[in-house]
Copies of this chain bind each other. A is one copy, B any other.
Amino acid sequence: MANGIKEKIEDANKEAIDKVLASNPVLVDVKPAIEAVPGMKKNMIMHAGPPTDWQNMCGPMKGAVMGTLLFEGLAETKDDAVKIIENGEIEFSPNHEHHAVGPMAGTTSASMPVFVVKDETHGNTAFARLVEDKVQFGDYGDEAVNGLRFWRDKLSVAIGTAIQKAGGINLKNIIGKALYRGDELHNRPDAGSSMFANMIITNLIEAGMAQNELLPVAKHLISDDIFFLGLSMGACKATMDAAHGIEYSTLVTAMARNGVEFGIRVSGLGDEWFTGPAGMINGLYFPGFTAEDANPDMGDSAITETAGLGGFTLAAAPAIINLVGGTPDEALKYSKQMQEITMAKNNGYTIPALNFEGTATGIDIRKVVKTGILPIIDTAMACKDPGKRMIGAGLVKPPMEAFKKALHGFAKKYEI
């Protein structure tokens, strides 16, 4: 019987990882969440990580929720926002439970346009919120909220036009090239952003967009080095969703944090979350901030590591050390070490500095628990207080507890 189970797991994992490797994520649209995302509601705020509620939310997520309600026009003031939340008028739901991902607080509202990424190989669709540097960190001030308005009214519209003109934009191609250009595709997507900007702008020229519309979009895209992270996250979510829901598979299909808890989902374990406390980040602080100011780990952006990018491809991006700390040797070692807890090397995403080895891809909960090696995540840091922006960046490991709980859940479900 034990042998039977083991074979079933191996077969399931082969099916799952083959889907990950064959995935071909293409950006096909940008649409308001209410029009695109299954289960989205007008009074819903989707958020990063496993489920939470207002009482249990960390400071920066509370700030981001307030900023998002102001953006959405559901509240006029910060105090209004708190009042309608406390009246129970706002429903909270994790992005991941809607095939979606969002950076840091990840707060996504009905009218907020999201990237629509289709895995052309398997036909499933994922959604990703814009990456910006204000509301997602908890800032709810006018400038922060105006950034979301620019996204909704101008930038997303233009990108949608460019996508239609291009007939879709293949994200796998850009990610593969970006790994040769010093990106790890989580906190360093700079080369990807530059390539994406060129494609969008050129398609908008071809689409005949008027100069006064095109210029602010072009200026934004060529100077926003972090922009491509939203696309990288969307691509990774589409890829991992394709491999979700395979009975007996021990593949991790999501790692996400809400700033209080870290949670994972596993292909063979349905939509259940397995959680532990979100870790503190070991890294570098911007001037004026210290560890005292930092919120625990937050965001759905660890979907990049889940798909074999981000911390797993640090070896491709030694320049990120300026942002997150460490040494180039450590970067190489992390990327090699992740091979011990993963199912395959992805030959679609290779790392030149490791002799063009494929990225370590597909975390197996069994290998994590057996080896004691935790996935490495590189991440931005939010301030623990609402109303602030990014205060630093660094490396973090998830709690082993989440993986052990998942393994117990697996044993229970499959009666091992």
Could you list which residues of chain A lie within 8 angstroms of chain B, going by C-beta atoms?
180-183, 190-191, 194-195, 197-199, 201-202, 205-206, 208, 211, 214-215, 218-219, 221-222, 318-319, 321-322, 327-328, 352-356
**For the complex, what is the distance from the CA of A353 to the CA of B331, rounded to whole Å?**
9
- The answer to whether B352 touches A327, judged by C-beta atoms less than 8 angstroms apart, is no
How far, in Å, is A192 (CB) from chain B's closest CB?
10
- The answer to whether A202 touches B222, judged by C-beta atoms less than 8 angstroms apart, is yes
Q: Give the residue of B182, B218, B221 whose beta carbon is less than 8 angstroms from that of A182.
A: B182
- The answer to whether A211 touches B201, judged by C-beta atoms less than 8 angstroms apart, is no
How far, in Å, is A176 (CB) from chain B's closest CB?
11
**Smallest CB gap from A351: residue in B:** B318
**For the complex, what is the distance from the CA of A99 to the CA of B208, rounded to whole Å?**
41
A and B contact pairs by CB, cutoff 8 A, 22 listed: A180-B190, A181-B183, A181-B191, A181-B194, A182-B191, A182-B352, A198-B201, A198-B222, A201-B201, A201-B202, A201-B218, A202-B215, A202-B219, A205-B211, A206-B215, A208-B211, A319-B352, A322-B352, A322-B356, A328-B352, A328-B354, A328-B355
**Smallest CB gap from A354: residue in B:** B328
How far, in Å, is A195 (CB) from chain B's closest CB?
6
Q: Give the residue of B195, B201, B321 whose beta carbon is less than 8 angstroms from that of A352.
A: B321
**Smallest CB gap from A320: residue in B:** B352
- The answer to whether B353 touches A353, judged by C-beta atoms less than 8 angstroms apart, is yes
- Not counting A199-B222, A327-B355, a sample of 4 additional A-B residue pairs whose C-beta atoms are within 8 angstroms of each other reads A180-B319, A181-B190, A181-B319, A182-B182
**For the complex, what is the distance from the CA of A206 to the CA of B217, rounded to whole Å?**
11
How far, in Å, is A199 (CB) from chain B's closest CB?
7
How far, in Å, is A44 (CB) from chain B's closest CB?
37
**For the complex, what is the distance from the CA of A209 to the CA of B205, rounded to whole Å?**
10
**Chain B residues with CB below 8 A from A327, complex form:** 355
With A180-B182, A191-B194, A194-B198 known to touch, is A318 a contact of B218 (CB < 8 Å)?
no
**For the complex, what is the distance from the CA of A306 to the CA of B293, rounded to whole Å?**
47
**Chain B residues with CB below 8 A from A222, complex form:** 198-199, 202
How far, in Å, is A405 (CB) from chain B's closest CB?
38
Residue of A195, A201, A318 with most partner-chain B CB within 10 A: A318
With A180-B182, A208-B211 known to touch, is A353 a contact of B218 (CB < 8 Å)?
no
**For the complex, what is the distance from the CA of A191 to the CA of B182, rounded to whole Å?**
9
**Chain B residues with CB below 8 A from A218, complex form:** 198, 201-202, 205
Residue of A182, A195, A215, A354 with most partner-chain B CB within 10 A: A182
**For the complex, what is the distance from the CA of A335 to the CA of B182, rounded to whole Å?**
17
Q: Give the residue of B197, B211, B328 whose beta carbon is less than 8 angstroms from that of A198.
A: B197
Residue of A197, A201, A319 with most partner-chain B CB within 10 A: A319
**Smallest CB gap from A197: residue in B:** B198
**For the complex, what is the distance from the CA of A202 to the CA of B198, rounded to whole Å?**
9
Interchain residue pairs A-B with the least CB separation, the first 3: A318-B352, A180-B319, A198-B222
**Chain B residues with CB below 8 A from A353, complex form:** 318, 328, 353
How far, in Å, is A64 (CB) from chain B's closest CB?
30
How far, in Å, is A318 (CB) from chain B's closest CB?
4
**Chain B residues with CB below 8 A from A211, complex form:** 205, 208
